[in-house]
A and B are shown apart, each in its own frame.
Chain A
C-alpha cells in the first residue's frame, strides 16, 4: 500500500474507539504469571455487565457444566484466564461500534456472523490439529475482518463505493478496497490492533490472513484463520461483504498438513457450534 494512502486512512480513523479500561486491566493481568483467579474475579465483579455476560457464558450449552455456576470466582477457575480475556475482548468489540442506520446494522450483523463462523472454524481446525491455544485461534478468527467494521463506521463513503464495485463487478472485496482506499481491511485491522495494544501474534494474524506465510513465526495461526475464512464463506455463515471465495494459499494448506477427507468433519463441527453459540453471543 502506498504510504500516503495509509496516512490518509490513519488520519481518518484517528478517533477510533479504545477498549474499555476493564478489558485492558484484564489483558494485563492475564499476561502476569503471578496473577490468581481471585485478582481477576475482583476486577470482573466491579463491572456488572461483564459479570452478567461471564455467568451467562459459563452456564450456556457451550460449556455444558453439569451444575449451575453462580459466582465469578467459580467461573474464572472453570473457564480459565485466557478464555475469559477472549470473551471480554469479543463482547467489548461489538459494543464499540454502534450502528448508525438499519442498513449498516444489517451489514454489521452479516459481518459479525461471518466473523463468528471464522472464529469457530479456526477453533475447530485448531482442535483437529491438536493446537494448544484454541481460544487464541477463536479470537483471531473473530477479529480477522475487524478492518471492514472500521471501514463501515469511519469511512462510510469509501465503504459504499467498495460495496458498489463488488456488486457491479462481482469480484473480491479486497480488490475493490485496494482500488478505492489504496489499502485493504487487513491493513486497517492492523492499525486497530496496534491501537488496542493487542498481542503481536493477533495483530499479525489479522493483517496477514490473506497472505498467511508472511506471518513468519505465526504462519500456522494465520494459515488456520485463512482456511477458516474460506470454510465460513463456503458454509454461508454470514457474509464478508462479497459473494466469492478467496483462493486457497497452497503453501498454507501444505503447512496445515490436512487431508481433504478431514473437511467434512471439521465443517460438521463448525455448523453445530455456530448454531449453538450464536444465541448467546448474538
Chain B
C-alpha cells in the first residue's frame, strides 16, 4: 500500500485508507475511487499525503508506484554511522533517502517544465 504525496495522486486511484481532517472527522472513506474534485477538497483541507491501493488503481497508480530504488548516499550514511545497530534507525535512514530523492526529482520536473 503506497503512501503518495498529494501532488502524485491521480484521479482514478483507489483510496486504501480513510482520510481524516481531525481525529473524529472523516473526509473520505477507504475504498473510494478518487476524482478530480476529491483531490481539490483534500488540498483545501491541507491533506499532504494519502494511502492508495496498489492493484486495480488505474494507470496513474502503476506509474507512480514504480520508482527506482534510492540507496542512502555517503553523507546520509555518515550521519547515521553511530546508530545503525538500531533497525528502526536503519529504516528511518532508508526512508529519508527515498523521500529526499523523490523531492529532488519533483524539483527537477518542475524546473524542466517552467
Contact = CB atoms under 8 A, between A and B. Distances in A.
Contacts, number: 93
A260 B91 contact: yes
For chain B, the bracket of interface size reads 35 or more
B49 A268 contact: yes
A269 B6 CA distance: 9
A246 B98 CA distance: 20
A66 B44 contact: yes
B83 A248 contact: yes
A247 B83 contact: yes
Contacts of B96: 231, 234-236, 267
Interface in B73-90: 76, 78-83, 86-89
Interface string B52-63: 000000000000
Interface string B100-111: 101100000000
A14 to B, nearest CB: 36
Given A243-B78, A272-B5, A272-B49, A231 B92 contact: yes
Interface string A21-64: 00000000000000000000000000000000000000000111
Interface residues of A, number: 34
B32 to A, nearest CB: 18
Interface of A: 62-66, 124, 130-132, 230-231, 233-236, 243-248, 250, 253, 260, 263-265, 267-269, 271-273, 275
5 contacts: A63-B46, A132-B23, A234-B95, A250-B86, A263-B92
Interface of B: 3-7, 20, 23, 43-46, 48-49, 51, 76, 78-83, 86-89, 91-93, 95-96, 98-100, 102-103
